[in-house]
Structure 1
Amino acid sequence: MLSSFSVMAQGKKPPVKTTPAKSIQKSRKDMFKIKAPKIQYVRPDTAILVEYDEFPEDTSDAANSVFFNPSKQLSIVSEDTSTLDLGEQQIVEMSEEVLIDSTWIKVAGYYAIWDTHNINPYRKDGRNLKDTLHIHLEEPEKKRYAKMPLEKTPITSDFGFRGYRWHYGTDIDLNTGDTIYAAFDGVIRISKWDGGGYGNYIVVRHYNGLETLYGHMSRPLVNVGTFVKAGEAIGLGGSTGRSSGPHLHYEVRYEGNPIDPERLYDFPDYKLISKDFTITSALFNYYNSALKYKKGGSRSGATSARRAAYHKVRSGDTISEIARKYGVSQAQIMRLNRITGKTVLKLGRSLRIR
């Protein structure tokens, strides 16, 4: 039998196959469907300062999570092309909707790419944002609320320099097996293993345009494509991947660009700072320092930029109350400030918390 190429070479046109109208309509109806695949950091002693050793390996997802560039350039061929199927990565042109339980769920119209493997496939530098974006963290009128990622949120490490690398999230202490919750309503975009960095981790894309990442889990509880409500259990805490002890590595991102979670959350008081949040290019100015040290900056410079938290003693303050307020142990405060059982707290004294 002659191939279409052979027929054309002989000056003959290959036979034209006709497609029934119903098939055309069905293909148009299905063109936006995003089919999710069916996928069947010892505990830190808060009594002493712990120097974490959880820097990701160069080939890990964590190492590539900010400065990732896809090896294959993505392009939109024409306005009539709804999706370009590149394995697990798809470009969605006209709308960002996912079919969940026979219902079309709109998730974050700010994004154009649905990628179930790469944390940051967007190739957008937050420093180049020209507009100011106002987003809602809570919308009670739409029954969309925010929840804390854990039942308790004692911070063990902040966003910023960690030794000689930049730490793009906030570490929150937990016990192995503690339940981890979705921060906002959204859809699970990534649920996978990263042995050189995040361990078992999940990325959730939210209605408000943010994405949150939950790292070092002992076990995920949800699959890619699952729609979750704020406060719904998505995983169990652990110390998988590049981790020195059980904790949750928690990140907040916009178009792949990490944002300091402490700009959204008051972790010691266990609440959002505000129901709304403003995103500008200034949020990502830290990239200048992060890139500098990624390319081999001095360790001493990084160490000097690390933050320490202090509390000024007020009337009626006790060590136990201060420890509870900041989510740390009394022993840690006493050690950092060389306090003994007989020490009297003087009004106005600055106590180092972490």
Structure 2
Amino acid sequence: MLNPSPMDQELLAPPAAQEAATRGFAADMARALTVHPRSISPKYFYDARGSQLFDAICELPEYYPTRTELAILRRHAPEIAAQMGPRAEIVEFGAGSCVKVGLLLDAMEQPARYLPIDISGEHLAASAAELRGRYPALDVQPVVADYTQRLLLPALLPGAGRRVGFFPGSTIGNFTPAEALHFLQVAGQVLRGGALLLGADLVKDPAVLHAAYNDAQGVTAAFNLNLLARSNRELGTDFALEQFAHSAFYNAPLQRIEMHLVSRCRQQVTLDGQAHAFDEGETLHTENSYKFTVDGLRALAERAGFRAGPVWTDPQRMFSLHWLQAPK
């Protein structure tokens, strides 16, 4: 689903990053409306409104991943901080609201710097400002960028310890297996000599998974449909949101949740003057969320050049956090 690129990406100032993001969104939407079956990257969920909706999803009673991962972090933060060592620098991929990293910062010995990376510049700026207020002595340097591309990050600060990547939330599950491998290979290059703390959702009862992505309040549906609203705002498309329905289901053979937007009728959508027909029942595939076994995730990381270390899970083994040593 995501589209990693081998091209290096400079650290962009927010206006330049926004222009680049809009161009990428337009190109990917044009492709999505042309190919069959239709699909688009889930990274386009995350404009300011989409980020707010995702934060709301994380508070839902049905959505177990966030609270479970937070509980693991609270319980094991001292052990994780010991693995990091003193004066470590954290690079968070897809930082969002910067909530989970606070549990690590509280446990760390003199963290040197925090580099949150996110595609939603407005949301990232607000989160970084809030974090600076909580940790005034911490050097917080937000990076507005697409973390699925190679990143040229600044050199370690003088006197800093190791560079540790943080990729929570099982966002690794939004990649296809090949893309997940590619991302880990790129992360290994960025974090060379350091480590990656990776959150991964585990295979479980399909009924639990179904409920997590089909909440009773309809917040996940609004989050899914917001992708179309964003396209209308930013790209000038004319999606009629009321003519699309949210659909999420567990594909057991592929061990993944799939999210789609289903056309309720035969209709047309226009982009740059070009009309694209949707048949009744045709879908735009917006997200995959792969689930893992502990052994399967460790094997994937080792294929990417990492050395698998400690694994922390909750008592019910719903979710996992993996310490992965980056290549030297």
TM-score range, shorter chain: under 0.3
Q: TM-score, normalised by structure 1?
A: 0.23
Larger Rg: 1
Q: TM-score, normalised by structure 2?
A: 0.24
